[in-house]
Amino acid sequence: MAKIHELASVLADQIAAGEVVERPASVVKELVENAIDAHSTQVDITVEESGLKRISVVDDGDGIADEDVEMAFKRHATSKITDRRDLFKVKSLGFRGEALPSIASVADVTLTTSTGSVGTMIHNVGGKIVAHEPAAARKGTDVTVKDLFGNVPARLKYLKSPTTELSKITDIVNRIALSYPDIAFSLVHNGRELTRTSGRGDLQQVIAGIYGVQSARKMVAISGETPDFKVSGYVSLPELTRASRQYISILLNGRYIHNYQLSKALVAGYGSKLMVGRYPLAVLAITMDPLLVDVNVHPTKQEVRISQEADLTKLIQTTVFQRLSQENLIPDVFSEM
Ligand code: ADP
Ligand code: MG
């Protein structure tokens, strides 16, 4: 008798979920990224008990047509890429078609959506659709995730304290808000508002909302470019530092990424202006041809491979260095904030 068989799809989804949904913050990230890909202008995130009881992400984006809504929960089902060539020029945050089926396989998910006409509600528990019916909804999508990891006790055990899990949620929401100043975000936890941005498109204002007005005042705009890369954003003056690199956000084509080489280049731009063990606050947005970056390195897409990375690190370092060289005195241009 043959020994090899295909895994049931729910089981396969649960295995994939291990990579995509590590913790409540990963759910928030995936849902918010979907909202952004759907051209939303407002994204409201509500969380209860650090996301374990409930995570809701409500957007005013394109919505999903009734005929597509079941497909959205199938693994590798996506509206964002079609063929091989698309993979090399991905502009959307998602493209792997894994988030919704992965989340649904380890939680209770209700998605209510409308493209502008009649709305739809679909309820999915542990990877099984238990209801799919018409619903009243305004244009956009509401995804509510309850009882996360309720069916995967091992995963629950692996989570950190509620405070730590919440701080990871706040962190990812803040970084995404810094990446999209044109979108209004709000984050509410157990009824308390933790983050709110206006969506008016002013990055310095978003920075002020997240790191405080005092900090924003001590940050200066940078910009630089080569034929292949463009960098822009804000970096702190050497007088404003932190004890870790975690206040450096690197955004590549609108995606928040982890990249040690790039943050090292940014820090190197300070030359000897920083004390040992101190790091700047920075929001560094990089724009480049998607052909020059491979975002398909890891399921969470926070690690990427960049070709000509050495040119980019040089650009970052010199842009920061030159900007800070102009700053002999602290300018008073931010006093209107
Ligand atoms: P991916 O984002 O990689 O395509 P997901 O599993 O996250 O995969 O989502 C599957 C599909 O469901 C998306 O391609 C998109 O068409 C649709 N979708 C998910 N969330 C939303 C949303 N908030 N608004 C509109 N469409 C959505
Ligand atoms: Mg997605």
293-304: per-residue pLDDT in tens?
988 778 777 888
Q: Does the pLDDT of residue 15 top 90, yes or no?
A: no
Q: Does the pLDDT of residue 335 top 70, yes or no?
A: no
Structural domain for 133, as ranges: 9-196
How remote is the CA of residue 160 from the centroid of ligand 2, in Å?
A: 25
Q: How far is CA 300 from the centre of its chain?
A: 10
Mean local confidence (pLDDT), 129-140: 95
141 shares its domain with 278: no
Specify if 296 maps to a domain: yes
280 shares its domain with 296: yes
Specify if 133 maps to a domain: yes
Specify if 184 maps to a domain: yes
229 shares its domain with 170: no
Specify if 3 maps to a domain: no
Specify if 332 maps to a domain: no
Residue nearest to atom 14 of ligand 1 (CA): 78
91 shares its domain with 230: no
Residue nearest to atom 17 of ligand 1 (CA): 72
CATH code of the domain containing 135: 3.30.565.10
247 shares its domain with 317: yes
Q: How confident is the model at residue 20 (pLDDT cuts 50, 70, 90)?
A: confident
186 shares its domain with 76: yes
Task: Provide the domain count of the chain.
Answer: 2
Q: How far is CA 43 from CA 21, 31, 137, 198, in A?
A: 20, 10, 16, 11
Instruction: Give the end of a domain, one of 196, 227, 248.
Output: 196
Instruction: Give the end of a domain, one of 196, 227, 253.
Output: 196
| Contact residues of ligand 1, CB 6 A cut-off | 30, 34-35, 38, 59, 61-64, 72, 78-80, 94-100, 141
Q: Could you give the percent of the chain with pLDDT greater than 70?
A: 97
Specify if 2 maps to a domain: no
SS3 content of the chain, % helix, strand, coil (to 5): 35, 25, 40
Q: How far is CA 150 from CA 48, 70, 75, 208, 299, in A?
A: 15, 22, 21, 38, 22
Helix spans in the chain (H)? 9-20, 24-37, 84-87, 99-105, 153-158, 162-179, 203-211, 213-217, 260-268, 309-325
Q: How confident is the model at residue 96 (pLDDT cuts 50, 70, 90)?
A: confident
pLDDT value, residue 110: 98
CATH code of the domain containing 255: 3.30.230.10
pLDDT value, residue 328: 64
Atom of ligand 1 nearest to the CA of 141: 23
Q: Which of 9, 13, 78 to mutate to test the pocket of ligand 1 (most atoms within 8 A of CB)?
A: 78
186 shares its domain with 211: no
Q: What is the pLDDT of residues 113-132, one digit of tens each?
A: 999 988 999 999 999 999 99
237 shares its domain with 214: yes
Q: Residues with Cβ within 5 Å of ion ligand 2? A: 34, 94, 99
Specify if 132 maps to a domain: yes
Neighbours of 85 (CB within 10 A): 8
173 shares its domain with 287: no
238 shares its domain with 300: yes
pLDDT value, residue 334: 52
pLDDT value, residue 336: 47
Residue 119 CA to residue 132 CA, distance in Å, equals 11
Mean local confidence (pLDDT), 53-80: 95
134 shares its domain with 165: yes
Sign of the dihedral defined by the CA atoms of residues 318, 321, 327, 328, in that order: negative
Q: Could you give the percent of the chain with pLDDT greater than 90?
A: 78
Q: Does the pLDDT of residue 331 top 60, yes or no?
A: no
Specify if 333 maps to a domain: no
96 shares its domain with 161: yes
Which residue has better confidence, 142 or 17? 142
Mean local confidence (pLDDT), 179-201: 97
Q: What is the pLDDT of residues 253-295, one digit of tens each?
A: 999 999 999 999 999 999 999 999 999 999 999 999 999 998 8
Residue nearest to atom 7 of ligand 1 (CA): 99
In this prediction, the answer to ipTM > 0.95 reads yes
Instruction: Give the end of a domain, one of 162, 196, 230.
Output: 196
Q: Does the pLDDT of residue 12 top 90, yes or no?
A: no
Neighbours of 277 (CB within 10 A): 8
